[in-house]
Amino acid sequence: MTLNELNNTLSEAVSSRKIGTPVSLRIHLQLSESQVDLVDALAAVMQVALPVFQTNARKLMACRDSGEDQLTTLVSLAGGQTVLVTVGRGTIDNGCLHLLLIGNHGTVRLEGAEQFEEESLELPDGPNLWKSPIEESLRRQTAVELPEIG
C-alpha cells in the first residue's frame, strides 16, 4: 500500500456516503526503517488524512515517546472532528498501516496492511503545511493554533 492508495481508499469511503459524515480518523503507521525522520513521515500522512474532512484544522498537539521512536499528533478541526495519527519506526520487519475512519453512520477499517511501501512517504514537491506546526508543538510541548490549514 502507498499513500496514494490510502488517499484513494479514504476518498472512496467518503464519496460513497456509506459512513455518513466523517467524524474521526485514526491512523497508526509503523515503519521498519529506524532512521526515518518521524516529522517528515507524519507530515506526509497528514497531507492524506486531512482532506477527508470538509473543514479547517484549528489545533494541533504533537508528542514523542521517550525513546523518540514514535510521534503522535492530535488535530482538532473547526467542526469538532478529530484526527489522531501515530508514526513509529524501527520495531518491525515490514511497514504496516492501520486506519479507522468513523462517520456518523458507520466506519471504515483498514487493518493489517502489511507491506506498506515506505518509499511512498516522500514529501511531495512544494510546501508541506504540516511540518512547521508539528515541529512547533514538539518544541513548545503544547498544542498550537493553526492558520487556515485544512
Q: Where along the chain do its domains lie? A: 3-144
73-77, 82-86, 116-120: range with lowest mean pLDDT: 116-120
Reference 70, options 42, 48, 95; nearest CA is 42
CA dist list (Å): 21 to 10, 14, 18, 86? 12, 7, 9, 23
CA dist list (Å): 70 to 1, 38, 91, 140? 21, 7, 10, 18
Reference 37, options 93, 98, 90; nearest CA is 90
**CATH code for the part of the protein at 3-144:** 3.30.360.10
What local confidence, expressed as pLDDT, does residue 74 receive? 96
**CA 14 from centre of chain:** 16
Question: By the 8 A CB rule, do 88 and 69 touch?
Answer: yes
What local confidence, expressed as pLDDT, does residue 68 receive? 85
Q: How confident is the model at residue 150 (pLDDT cuts 50, 70, 90)?
A: very low
Walk across the sheet containing 144-149 and list its strands.
Answer: 107-114, 96-103, 22-31, 82-89, 70-77, 57-64, 144-149
Q: How confident is the model at residue 137 (pLDDT cuts 50, 70, 90)?
A: very high
Position 24 pLDDT exceeds 50: yes
Each residue of 35-61: pLDDT tens digit? 888 998 898 888 878 788 878 889 999
- Cell numbers 477527508 label which residue? 52
